[in-house]
Amino acid sequence: MHALPTILGLLLGSAVLIYVACEFFVNGVEWVGRRLAVGQKATGTVLAAFGTALPESVVTFVAVTFPRTAGDKDIGIGAAMGGPLVLGTIAYAVVGVTLWICKRRLPEGQARRSLYNGLSRDQAWFIAISIVKLAVGVMAFAFKPWLGVLFLAAYGAYAWKEMGGEQELDDEVLEPLKLAPRADVPPVWAAILQTVAAMAVIFVACRFFVGQLDALGPYLGLKPQLLSLLISPIATELPETLNAVIWIRQGKVRLALANISGAMMIQATVPTAFGLFSTPWMLDPALVVAGAITLMSVGALFFAFWRGWITRAYLTLMSLFYVAFAALLVGMHL
């Protein structure tokens, strides 16, 4: 076991590496979206979200399909339920806090209505899928594994709608591609290479970050189950959260919100499909609570986006749903 100062130093170092890699990722994915003539919302909801959520989905796939220990499948199911919870609470709260710190405002006028209408539709998709996911997790029946195909189809339909819908292309000047800083318009291959390379670094650094959290658990007196449900999901959703921070710092609030929304759709469908294919997908009480809290938080977001009531304070208060989940979970384990 490493000494506590060593663990804290490695945690800080890996967090810094993730942030730097996210800087390269958001720069690259913006250019990919520009060169492919994809609007800002689709760039955030599909391209960026797919890039940052893909590594986590692969980890879930490996855990439930090729388990090395008896608990690996449980870890995979926990990740499929914990990821959306973190995105629907902590990630949006970080957006609210970052908007305040950076003195950025939410969009106004027609841009506000267009963005909020799109995000409210995303939340509605997520709520419908999550209700099915939660209901299936408390029932046992023979053809349950086949439902995984429907979850993959649901994400395919969502991505097709986002990419194939009317794209609001903008004339905003992008920062030069870091891999080709002297090119006014970098080649597509360079933008894709930078994005994929950054994604690989994010994946490795996140795995290392989670490993250090596991080592930190005994020092904090946390049981492994509590650590895997409370702390690890925050770490695995760090790339999406940091992407949002970077985009808000750059004044691209639309991209920040769209990225989280799109990542939630992936987390609600693809890891769930893997779990249905390879496990009985029976949720224990703690995971049912996680699913219920997620539905409540996203329901609150849907209503606020739909009515146009979203503010920086409203987003920040989404963290209270995670606090409630933590309190309930600790109480259940005690």
With 70 as the cut, is the pLDDT of residue 327 above it?
A: yes
Q: Please give the C-alpha separations between residue 292 and each of 124, 150, 285, 321, in angstroms, as whole numbers.
A: 15, 21, 10, 10
Whole-number percent of the chain with pLDDT over 70: 91
Residue with more model confidence, 112 or 320: 320
Q: How far apart are CA 244 and CA 256, in angstroms?
A: 4
Residue 300: the pLDDT is 96
With 90 as the cut, is the pLDDT of residue 162 above it?
A: no
With 80 as the cut, is the pLDDT of residue 33 above it?
A: yes
What type of residue sits at position 294? T
Residue 223: the pLDDT is 67
Q: How far apart are CA 135 and CA 125, in angstroms?
A: 16
* Structure confidence by residue, pLDDT tens digits, 276-297: 998 889 998 989 999 999 999 9
Residue 171: the pLDDT is 55
Extract long-range pairs of 159-166: CB within 8 Å, 24+ residues apart.
159/46, 159/50, 162/41, 162/42, 162/45, 162/46, 162/262, 163/38, 163/42, 163/46, 165/42
Backbone region of residue 170 per phi and psi (left: phi > 0; alpha: psi in -120 to 50; beta: other values): beta
* Structure confidence by residue, pLDDT tens digits, 55-90: 667 767 777 777 766 666 777 787 788 889 999 999
Residue 155: the pLDDT is 92
CB 34 within 8 A of CB 176: no
With 70 as the cut, is the pLDDT of residue 166 above it?
A: no
Mean pLDDT of all residues in 212-236: 74
Mean pLDDT of all residues in 299-317: 94
Q: How far apart are CA 45 and CA 50, in angstroms?
A: 8
pTM over 0.85: yes
